[in-house]
Amino acid sequence: MHKLLLAGVSAIALVLTGISGASAQDLKFPKGEGAFSWQALDDFAAAHKGLEGQKLTIWGPWREGGDKEQFESVLAYFKDATGIDVSYASSENYEQQAVIDTAAGSAANITILPQPGLLADLASKGYLTPLGDDLAAKVKDEYAAGESWVSLGTYKGKDGNPAFFAVPYKADLKSLVWYSPDNFAEKGYKVPETFEDLMALSKQIIADGGTPWCIGLGSGGATGWPATDWIEDIMLRTQSPEDYDKWVTNELKFNDPKVVAALDVFGEIAKDDKMVAGGAKAVGTTDFRDSPKGLFTVPPQCYLHHQASFIPSFFPEGTELGTDASFFYFPPFADKNLGKPVLGAGTLVTITKDSPTAKAFIDFVQNPISNEIWMAQSGFLSPLKSANIETYGNDTLKGEGQILLDATTFRFDGSDMMPGAIGAGAFWTGMVDFVNGKSSQDVADEIQKAWDSIKK
């Protein structure tokens, strides 16, 4: 174990990326130009004088390619405003490394992770610095679905008392349905506003001789995971956010009638040969990366595809977003009165070694400019209401960002927050069994047995 701790310390030294030399020439977008919140940056700089030359270390999940470069482009504005010397580091096993470093007392000042469950564990061991009730109240007021984000950043500390430890930064969106505008226009189909409308549209497509949905659960050793997103979205649209949270922790049992009912809603689509391209038997064997391609065949193999914001990476080469493909919000049930829930994921920013520079960075990620600089590039969605939506780099990001801002509830991917044996095990395999013919009750009972076995 001691060797592991030493290896962890060495790893940070090897992968640190310095931002200390940032200057006006390093800024991605010239100050004063565009729709960015430059005044907010000036105000931030004025409020954080006297930190020039001090150091800040950050550990996070972005280790290569575009995300890392874009995050560093944001850090350049932080450096420019404060004069702080910033070093950012990551590694392939960044989550495990974060645990090693905090236990060894060698953590970075700031640790950014996308796993609330892991952060809760770090908080319980006293490795995170509480951010205070005032900051929690600010997040509640200034972020879309702010109460949800406060909940995601609140954990029990070493003393057993709950406190606010983590600020949201960079969200991901899952509650989307993709379609071809041309195919819709040709048939006269309208984007549905409610889940009831979505099912009516699906039946209309069948009546017109088409197939509504493309669904693929195949993903090698992770086969089944796309169906978990379906169930999570349906749970948020049929049950309260509180019940969703209880389901994720198994306080609400997996074989509770509320959960079984959610499986049955999915089954109305995935287990109906007329509803899915290739018939129900193809759902479990079609690779998720291939499944959206049916939207673009001539004639179309399907008209609808439920998947997260990353899926355009697997659209046919040359597909133009906004023209050849678009999306709409996976709609709520009209009769449930549950608002506009959104399923997604995201990163949370914590202090793992307190310092004035760490506190300054926590302030910075709540400043609209820290969001807008990345929003203007790619792959970044912001729930911060003061971030100017006009700074998004394209209409697709802008539309996704608007869905996030309209959300009344935001919840993390449930399977990612369940124990690995469930969320990355029994839940995946159970969904494959379900689409292959097993009943919702039998599947739910088996997943609950798996929960019970890990509690013993």
Question: Tens digit of pLDDT for each residue in 287-301?
Answer: 999 999 999 999 999
CA dist 193 and 330 (Å) reads 9
- Decide which of 1 and 190 is more confident: 190
Q: How far is CA 45 from the centre of its chain?
A: 30
CATH code assigned to 176-341+415-455: 3.40.190.10
pLDDT for residue 358 is more than 70:
yes
**Segments in 189-256 forming alpha helices (H):** 195-207, 225-238, 241-249
pLDDT of residue 455: 73
Give me the percent of the chain exceeding a pLDDT of 90.
93
Q: What type of residue sits at position 269?
A: I
Region 179-201: mean pLDDT is: 98
CA dist 271 and 204 (Å) reads 18
CA dist 131 and 351 (Å) reads 8
The CA distances from residue 293 to 142, 208, 296, 379, 433, in Å, are 39, 21, 6, 22, 24
What digits encode the pLDDT tens for the residues 118-161? 999 999 999 999 999 999 999 999 999 999 999 999 999 999 99
Please say whether the beta carbons of 102 and 34 come within 8 A: no
Give me the percent of the chain exceeding a pLDDT of 70.
94
Q: How far is CA 308 from the centre of its chain?
A: 9
pLDDT of residue 2: 26
pLDDT grade for 25, boundaries at 50, 70 and 90: low
107 phi-psi bin (left φ>0, alpha ψ -120 to 50, beta other): beta
Residues 6+ apart with CB under 8 A from 257: none
Please say whether the beta carbons of 263 and 444 come within 8 A: yes
**Phi then psi dihedrals of residue 107, to 5 deg:** -65, 155
For the beta carbon of residue 36, count every other beta carbon within 10 angstroms.
24
Residues 6+ apart with CB under 8 A from 117: 417
- Extents of the domains making up the chain: 2-173+348-412, 176-341+415-455
Q: What share of the chain is helix, strand, coil (3-state, %, to 5)?
A: 50, 15, 35
Q: Is the pTM of this model over 0.95?
A: no
Q: Residue 162: exposed, middle, or buried by beta-carbon count in 10 A (0-12, 13-18, 19+)?
A: middle
**Phi then psi dihedrals of residue 14, to 5 deg:** -75, -30
pLDDT for residue 99 is more than 80:
yes
Report which DSSP code applies to 23.
-
CA dist 6 and 283 (Å) reads 47
pLDDT of residue 349: 98
Bridging pattern class, strands 85-89 and 55-59: parallel
CATH code assigned to 2-173+348-412: 3.40.190.10
CA dist 165 and 351 (Å) reads 8
**Segments in 126-224 forming alpha helices (H):** 133-142, 146-152, 181-187, 195-207
Cis status of the peptide bond prior to 299, with omega within 30 of 0: yes
Please say whether the beta carbons of 324 and 146 come within 8 A: no
Structure tokens that stand for 396 in this block:
């697709």
What digits encode the pLDDT tens for the residues 81-90? 999 999 999 9
Reduce the DSSP state of residue 272 to 3 states and report it. coil
pLDDT grade for 66, boundaries at 50, 70 and 90: confident
pLDDT for residue 317 is more than 60:
yes
CA dist 332 and 180 (Å) reads 21
pLDDT of residue 54: 98
The answer to whether 2-173+348-412 and 176-341+415-455 have equal CATH topology is yes
What digits encode the pLDDT tens for the residues 379-422? 999 999 999 999 999 999 999 999 999 999 999 999 999 999 99
pLDDT of residue 19: 52
Region 311-320: mean pLDDT is: 96
Region 256-266: mean pLDDT is: 98
